[in-house]
Amino acid sequence: MTTSTRRLVVVSAAALALALGATACGSDAKTGDAKTSAAPGGAASPAAPALSGEVNVFAAASLTGTFTELGKKFETAYPGVKVKFNFGGSSALAQSINSGAPADVFAAASTKTMKTVSDAGGASGEPKTFVRNTLTIAVPKGNPKHVAALKDLAGAGFKVALCAKEVPCGAAAVDALKAGGVDLTPVTLEQDVKGALTKVELGEVDASLVYRTDVKADAAKIDGVDFPEAEKAVNDYPIAALAKAPNKDGAAAFVAYIQSAEAKQVLTAAGFQTP
C-alpha cells in the first residue's frame, strides 16, 4: 500500500468515527428517542404534555394573593391553559367538592379539612403539605388600643372578630386562646380569614386573629402583633388533585408546580413557612 493510499484510509476512518459520534450524541426522530424541555422552575425534564383547557382550583382564602400570582406564572409556562380560582373558607370549599362541584385541585388551610375530602374519596393520591401558616393579632394601623399580648383581647369593652371554629383560621384561634388561657367572646364569627380581617379594616372591631400572611399583604392598612401562643396553632396547608377532576393532566401539572422551587419562593416571600 502506497503512502498516499494509507493517508486516504486514515482520513476516511476518522470521518466515519466523527459521523458515528455525532449520531450517538443526538436524538433521531425516526427512533422516537425522548427529548427534554425546561419545566416550570427551570429544571430539565421529559417534554411536558401539551396541556390545554381550564384548571379549576379551589383554594383557601388566605392563598388569594399568592395563588393569583402563581396562576399567571403557570399560564405563562403552559400557554394553552387557563387557571380559574374559587377562593373561600376551606370547610365550605370541601363541602362543595364533596357535593360534586366541578373542580380539579383543592388547596386547604388545614389537614383536617383536606381529610374530609380524602375520606370521601375525592382526592387523587396522597395530599401534599406545601406550606405552613401561623396566626397574629390584626389591629388598625398604629395599634390605637396598644395591644401587646393575646390576653389584652379579653379586656372590658374590647371588640374582637374571629373566624368560625369550623374553618381552619377559627380552629387555630381556638387552640391559641386555649394555650394562652384566654377566654373571650367575639362580636362576630366570620366564614373565612378575609372576612375577619375586613372587620378590622372597616373599624368595626378592635382586633382579629388572622394569619400572618394576610396582615403582611395588607400592611398599608393593618398592623400585626405577634404572640407566643401562636406556635401552638400552626396550620399545615395540603394540596391535592381531585379524583373527579375534569382536567386531570392540568390538575397534576398545577399541583406539581405549587411544589416547585419557583412557587415556594413566591409563597415564602408572602410570609408562609416551608414544611
Q: Is residue 27 part of a domain?
A: no
241 and 194 both lie in a single domain: no
CATH of the domain at 174: 3.40.190.120
66 and 111 both lie in a single domain: yes
Distances (CA, A) of 219 to 107, 142, 228: 24, 11, 21
181 and 155 both lie in a single domain: yes
Stretch (H or E) spanning 44? strand 44-46
Nearest to 184 by CA among 140, 229, 215, 218: 229
Q: Is residue 274 part of a domain?
A: no
Q: What is the pairing mode between strands 81-88 and 160-163? A: unpaired
Q: Is residue 7 part of a domain?
A: no
Q: Is residue 31 part of a domain?
A: no
pLDDT value, residue 39: 52
| Alpha-helical regions (H) of the chain | 3-25, 64-77, 90-98, 111-119, 168-180, 193-201, 212-217, 248-258, 261-269
197 and 214 both lie in a single domain: yes
Give me the average pLDDT of each 10-residue run along the chain (275 residues).
40 38 38 40 49 97 97 96 97 97 97 97 96 98 96 95 95 96 96 95 97 95 97 96 97 98 97 95
122 and 242 both lie in a single domain: yes
Q: Is residue 58 part of a domain?
A: yes
pLDDT value, residue 50: 79
Rounded-to-integer distance, Cα 215 and Cα 219, Å: 6
178 and 103 both lie in a single domain: no
Rounded-to-integer distance, Cα 210 and Cα 227, Å: 12
Rounded-to-integer distance, Cα 56 and Cα 205, Å: 35
Contact 209, 173 (CB under 8 A): yes
Q: Which domain holds residue 100?
A: 51-132+236-269
pLDDT value, residue 48: 53
pTM over 0.85: no
Rounded-to-integer distance, Cα 137 and Cα 147, Å: 8
243 and 124 both lie in a single domain: yes
Q: Is residue 119 part of a domain?
A: yes
- What is the tally of structural domains in the chain? 2
Q: Is residue 41 part of a domain?
A: no
CATH of the domain at 65: 3.40.190.10
Specify which residues 37 forms β-bridges with. 45
